[in-house]
Structure 1
Amino acid sequence: MLSPHVVRRAAFLSLLFAGALCACPLRGQAQGLDGLLEKARAAQSSGKYAEAAVIYARSTALAPATPELWSNRGVMEYLAGEIDPSIVSLKHALRLKPGLYVPMLFLGKAYLQSGKPAQALPYLTHAATLQPSDPELLLALGKNYAALNKPHEAESAYADAARVVPANPAAWLGLGTASLAMIASDGQDLAGLQAQSIWARALFADELLAQGRPLEAIDTYNVALAKASSEQKATLVRNVSWLEAHPDLFPLPANSQEALRKFDEQLTSTTSNSQPPSCATSQMPLASADCAFWAGDYERSAAYAADVLKHSPQDPEALYWSIKSNERIAVAALGRFEELAPQSAASFDMVGDLYRDQRQMENALGEYKKALDIDPHDPGALLGTVVADIAASKLDEAAAVDQLALADHPQDPQLNLLQAEILTARNHYAEARPYLAKCLAGPPDLQPRVHLLLARADAEDGKNDDAIREYELALPGDRDGSIHFQLSRLYRKAGNVARAQKYEEQAKALIALRRINAAIEVREMTGATPSQ
């Protein structure tokens, strides 16, 4: 939605540009042009952008060599939702006068609006060299970088926007979501590339504490400490102490708080001779990231970690501090957004997502409905509604809402995958295939599920070899052994007993691991000591 600030700014630019026109047309044409510009300004100030665009089109016919008129025409076409014509007009303005800021900015926005962020980026970055502090530009850059899956750059642009216009809720929402994207990206790298590092284990232990699972958390901390060097051990011990000392900043369930207090006392008494790098004298970026984080300067901590990751993208300690600091940035930014826009669709989306994470589907659906009452096309609410409806076994409702969302975003891989999920749940495999085909170029985290559904479709059609190939591509998503068992069954059917036995053994191992995890959950709930 266009802000009043933008409307006023566009109106001001029209007035400014009109003053430069008198030398261009003949006197009679100038008089006619002045009248057209008055009408265009009146239409624009009333929000009648399509009407204003038509009037500016007539103006460019009278003064075709005036770049500002072409710029105004393109901006009005953009605001009227006429994206393709606006791109033509804005490009023509830049051909006439390459250094104009407004057509550069709106060309970037137009390409972004049309789903072409790669084409938008050169215009937006060039515009940033002209007016680097324009909040409208910073917000567009943040959105564009997010669309290009560049969360670090998106976070930086949104942070700049929040500094320039601290009362703008869109800046804080963008900053919060970009920080969450950074957490997801770094978390995937840490879990996938450095899963056995002490920093991955320490991060997992922190998360277990937050979940109220202190026994497992302490076990995980101890594994990390056993592998740590003396300096790393000192850093981890200090982190545990500061975590225990700041319940206001890092709230934990009561059982985790008590367990952490006892663990801190134990660590302090057994590692008193180990000293971490001094915050006052250290020149090491990661020691500075550590110190900045516990001093509450999360932005600086994230910056130190980012500097290391530029040269060493898989450094586990840098990933750890990047995740920890971005968690705090996200919490603060989203909290500020909720203060500024408590009744916005995005606020209801966030609350709905929280309910959904807690498996309170009816409450989640209630929040998404509030968002859709404000904006029937709100993508977050539509997606959340589909997921919650599926979880509540409301497949008819889920299918209907997903189709509404697909009408707005027909190539979206997640929406297409959800429609395929619904269809395969009803055994409509042939109808699901076109939706699955649109998912194959989607994000890597969706691919195991896509291939699993394709495998089921192939198996249903009696295509044994194709089903085996798809099931093997789906293996990274197997958490309970079911995919391995399906492969075992298909290989046995094909006469390959050796591979059938291999996958059957792997399935049993996954089932055993699942039982261990279930036992750990019981232990956390009861506080029982594991049997020897």
Structure 2
Amino acid sequence: MSLRFTFALLLLLAGNSFGQQESSLQSILADAQKAQSANDYITATTDYKAAVKIRQDVPELWANLGLMQHESGDYEGAIQSFREANRIRPSLYVPNLFLGIDYVRTGKQKEAVPLLLKAERMNDIDPLPSLTLGRAYSSLGEYRLAAEELQRTIHRDPKQSSAWFALGIVYLHQVEDEARTMTARSPDSPYAKALYAEALVKQDRYKEAEDLYHQVLAAKDQPDCMLSEQGFLEILQNKLEDAARDFQAERSAHPECTIALLGQSRIAVERGSPDEAMRLLQQVWSRNAEFITSHSDALFAGMKQHDRNSFEEFLSQQSGAEEIATALKHTAQGNQPMGNSNDGSSSAPLSLSDAERAFQEGNDAKCVEHLRAGLKSGSSQTLRLLAVCSYFSGNYKLTSDTGAELAKIPVLSSAGLYWSLKANEKLAQDSLAQFEQLEPNSARSHLLMGDIYRQRQLFADAENEYQKALEIAPGDTGAMMGLASAYLGDAKIDQAIAIAERSLAQTPDDLETNTIMGEALIAQHRFAASEPYLLKGLHSKPQMLPHVHALLGKAYAADGKGTDAIRELTLGLASDEDGGLHYQLARLYSKAGDQPAAELAIAQMKAIQQKRRQASVIAVEDSHSSNLDDAP
């Protein structure tokens, strides 16, 4: 990076006659550039420090010094050098850009933003300012601004894999943020329950999801096409007759729900009727070709790969179905295009009546065209219809923006959050798929995807990704740590211990792996054996500490160390998600004769359990073993 941005100071200073001192400067600069070319940034830093002592008034010298300090990891030193360059000449691009970059690296995102905005205005071609600005906004929790900057980065450089990954993480953060808002505002709404049911389906918790879908369908105000959502669950449960009834009932009551046609096509495939499945897909295609590509995941959910390949091959050989086969194969290869990034402006006049007519005909794309102009100025009715049509037409960026506007209307807040959250989840999937395309089958790609799956409690998928990473890089301790954590989450305790031992053999002092090993040993009731690992874990990053204290408290309690157990459990209460720690603390207080403290702990336990029952949305939890905001 430094070779790209450093100033050619030998040329800059050439021709100036300043005597022996300047001759010495030219020699120092030649040595600096030689060291820089050899990636010897420490030596180059020393040379540039000598240079700025001779000419303190040359901002390019300070900028080059800052770049060498940046490359050698001395970010605080680089910040001082860039600030000096900026003081002398505020119009230079490099000091503004890298001062912003190093402020982000040192956790000073607010200070970074104005510098990066200035750098972006100076150079609208370089993707680095917008990429770094996107990361800064993400760290500040300004996810929509972050997404805009990262989309700008991708527009400038579509092959920027780091931008695709960062964009995917930003959308996941938006999902989490909106899920928390939904939980706080309306945890018992049908929209919250529908989202929770979808999350349960992804975790293979079908019975719980089934109960929730029944509650949603009994509600007067519910998300569109819920019978079809239940139908796809029933396919996964192998209840084909129930699914077929639901899809037919959906089509009869809500002919606009094209997804019911998709469900009937899936039923036909399952029943060995590919001709009927093709006919139904052709109806979907005639309504909205984009629908098939944007919702192919629903069509093929749970289907064996062999069966999918056979059906796609059948389609490719049928006259009139070749385009459908090509589109499905395209999405299977991870080439699904991102949702339309149009900001909602349109030259077409707003026409709610025309939009409603198109919606009833199942033509979601046409519905969007009639409503797009109403994104910023439309009525609540316009926004609600635009959210639905844009989602089912695959225009997820527009859905996200519309949902955000809709969520500002108190009585429609749940509906707005529902559509925005679903759209952002799709956008995250698409962004991360693009990242995987740009870094196919790399250890880093599999590691990062494993982290994402693990955070979302999709442990089998996470295990698969980590194993792929280890096939490529057998000694990767990050992949081993991730795999051990995924095994632990999947209740595969023996495997978790085995892989953690393998990792600790290479890095015995790794704090997170020690914590995982301690937790796995506790799961096997090997409490005394867990303590040395957990004591190491007490030096972990702050967000992990409550979890480590809680684990150590459990170990001490099992070993009869009551006083130590109470201390550690108290320090770990921030990690109590189900009230279990408060209950254990209450028992320890009772045993110690402190009944008031025991009663208080029980009351706190009940409050947590009540809040848990109300929490109807699963959010993406902050991982205790990786930081997905780190640049890939």
TM-score tier (shorter): 0.7 to 0.9
**What is the letter of the counterpart of residue 458 of structure 2?**
D
CA distance in 2, matches of 1:503, 1:40: 67
Aligned counterpart, 1:128: 120
Q: What TM-score comes out, normalization by structure 2 length? A: 0.62
Structure 1 residues 99-118: aligned runs within 5 Å: 99-118=91-110
- Give the drift of 1:335: 1.2
- Give the drift of 1:109: 2.2
CA distance in 2, matches of 1:404, 1:502: 35
Aligned counterpart, 2:44: 52
Structure 1 residues 338-417: aligned runs within 5 Å: 338-350=436-448, 352-353=450-451, 354=453, 357-359=458-460, 366-370=467-471, 381=479, 383-388=481-486, 391=493, 392-394=496-498, 396-397=501-502, 399=504, 405-406=510-511
Q: C-alpha offsets along residues 463-522 of structure 1, whole Å, 9 cap, x if unaligned?
A: 39945982993684227x675366246436536399669959x89x98xx99xxxxxxxx
Matched, 1:21 2:31: no
Judged with a 3 Å threshold, the aligned counterparts in structure 2 of structure 1 residues 351 and 433 are, in CA distance, closer, same or farther, namely closer
Structure 1 residues 101-500: aligned runs within 5 Å: 101-131=93-123, 133-210=125-202, 217-229=209-221, 233=222, 236-238=223-225, 253=236, 255=238, 259-270=242-253, 278=356, 279=367, 280-281=370-371, 283=378, 284=380, 285-308=383-406, 315-350=413-448, 352-353=450-451, 354=453, 357-359=458-460, 366-370=467-471, 381=479, 383-388=481-486, 391=493, 392-394=496-498, 396-397=501-502, 399=504, 405-406=510-511, 418=516, 421=519, 426-427=527-528, 432=534, 435-436=537-538, 441-442=542-543, 449-450=547-548, 452-453=550-551, 455-456=553-554, 459=557, 460-463=560-563, 466=566, 470=570, 473=573, 476-478=576-578, 484=583, 487-488=586-587, 490-491=589-590, 494=593, 496=595
Aligned counterpart, 2:84: 92
Aligned counterpart, 1:526: none
Aligned counterpart, 2:344: none
Alpha-carbon RMSD: 4.7
CA distance in 2, matches of 1:86, 1:320: 45
Of 4, 7, 13, the match for 1:9: 4
CA distance in 2, matches of 1:313, 1:66: 60
- Give the drift of 1:367: 3.3
Judged with a 3 Å threshold, the aligned counterparts in structure 2 of structure 1 residues 147 and 477 are, in CA distance, closer, same or farther, namely same
Structure 1 residues 493-512: aligned runs within 5 Å: 494=593, 496=595, 503=602
Aligned counterpart, 1:529: none
Is the CA contact 1:210–1:253 (under 8 Å) kept in the aligned structure 2? Answer: no
- Give the drift of 1:135: 1.0
Secondary structure of the equivalent of 2:137?
Answer: helix
Q: What TM-score comes out, normalization by structure 1 length? A: 0.72
Secondary structure of the equivalent of 2:73?
Answer: coil
CA distance in 2, matches of 1:71, 1:312: 51
Secondary structure of the equivalent of 1:64?
Answer: coil
**What is the letter of the counterpart of residue 130 of structure 2?**
L
Judged with a 3 Å threshold, the aligned counterparts in structure 2 of structure 1 residues 361 and 294 are, in CA distance, closer, same or farther, namely closer
Q: C-alpha offsets along residues 232-265 of structure 1, whole Å, 9 cap, x if unaligned?
A: x4xx344655x699x9xx9984848875553232
Judged with a 3 Å threshold, the aligned counterparts in structure 2 of structure 1 residues 401 and 112 are, in CA distance, closer, same or farther, namely farther
**What is the letter of the counterpart of residue 478 of structure 1?**
D
Is the CA contact 2:116–2:133 (under 8 Å) kept in the aligned structure 1? Answer: yes
Is the CA contact 2:547–2:575 (under 8 Å) kept in the aligned structure 1? Answer: no
**What is the letter of the counterpart of residue 9 of structure 1?**
R
CA distance in 2, matches of 1:66, 1:501: 66
- Give the drift of 1:79: 1.2
Secondary structure of the equivalent of 2:158?
Answer: coil
Q: 263-272 or 136-145, which moves further after superposition?
A: 263-272
CA distance in 2, matches of 1:75, 1:168: 22
Is the CA contact 1:78–1:86 (under 8 Å) kept in the aligned structure 2? Answer: yes
Is the CA contact 2:234–2:242 (under 8 Å) kept in the aligned structure 1? Answer: no
CA distance in 2, matches of 1:178, 1:237: 26
Structure 2 segments unaligned to the other structure (5+ residues) = 258-351, 357-366, 614-632
CA distance in 2, matches of 1:80, 1:138: 23
Aligned counterpart, 1:83: 75
- Give the drift of 1:131: 3.2
CA distance in 2, matches of 1:203, 1:126: 40
Secondary structure of the equivalent of 2:13?
Answer: coil
CA distance in 2, matches of 1:430, 1:494: 30
- Give the drift of 1:349: 0.6
Is the CA contact 1:108–1:124 (under 8 Å) kept in the aligned structure 2? Answer: yes
Aligned counterpart, 1:410: none
- Give the drift of 1:343: 3.7
Structure 1 segments unaligned to the other structure (5+ residues) = 1-5, 407-413, 515-532
Is the CA contact 1:351–1:364 (under 8 Å) kept in the aligned structure 2? Answer: yes
- Give the drift of 1:75: 0.7
Judged with a 3 Å threshold, the aligned counterparts in structure 2 of structure 1 residues 365 and 334 are, in CA distance, closer, same or farther, namely closer
Q: C-alpha offsets along residues 347-390 of structure 1, whole Å, 9 cap, x if unaligned?
A: 1214545588344887565334357569x57xx53641452575
- Give the drift of 1:401: 6.4
The percent of aligned pairs where both chains have the same amino acid is: 26
Secondary structure of the equivalent of 1:166?
Answer: coil
